[in-house]
Chains A and B, each alone.
Chain A
Amino acid sequence: MQIKRGRLSMVCVCVVLGFLLALQFRSTRDFNANLPYQRTEELAARLQQMEKENEVLRQSLDELKEASGVEKYSKFSEDMKMISGQTAVEGQGIIITIEDSKQGSSSTNDPNLYLVHDEDLLKVINELRAAGAEAIAINGQRLTAMSEIRCAGPTLSVNNVRTAPPFEIRAIGNSKDLVAAINMRGGVADALKVWGIVIDVQQIEKLYIPAYKSSNQFKYAAPTEKQEGE
Chain B
Amino acid sequence: MVYSFLGLIIGLLLGFFVPWSIPKAYSSLFSVALLASLDSVFGGIRAAMDGIFDDRAFISGLVSNALLAAFLVYVGGNLGIDLYYVALLAFGLRIFRNLGRIRQYLLKRQ
Contact = CB atoms under 8 A, between A and B. Distances in A.
A39 to B, nearest CB: 15
A108 B65 CA distance: 57
A24 B37 CA distance: 13
B70 to A, nearest CB: 12
B7 interface: yes
B15 interface: yes
A24 B7 contact: no
A24 to B, nearest CB: 6
A18 B7 CA distance: 8
B15 A22 contact: yes
B27 to A, nearest CB: 7
Interface in A21-44: 21-28, 30-31
| Interface bracket on B | 35 or more
Contacts of B86: none
Nearest to B21: A27
B37 A17 contact: yes
Contacts of A21: 11-12, 15, 34
A50 interface: no
A5 B24 CA distance: 37
B84 interface: no
Interface residues of A, number: 26
B79 interface: no
B59 A13 contact: yes
Given A6-B48, A13-B37, A30-B21, A24 B11 contact: no
Given A23-B20, A27-B22, A31-B27, A10 B15 contact: no
B11 A15 contact: yes
A21 B38 CA distance: 9
Nearest to B11: A18
Contacts of A88: none
A57 interface: no
A21 B30 CA distance: 10
B110 interface: no
Interface in B16-42: 16, 18, 20-22, 24, 27, 30-31, 33-34, 37-38, 40-41
Given A10-B44, A14-B41, A16-B37, A23 B59 contact: no
9 contacts: A6-B48, A12-B7, A14-B11, A14-B41, A16-B11, A19-B14, A20-B11, A20-B30, A23-B21
Interface of B: 3-16, 18, 20-22, 24, 27, 30-31, 33-34, 37-38, 40-41, 44, 48, 53-55, 58-59, 62
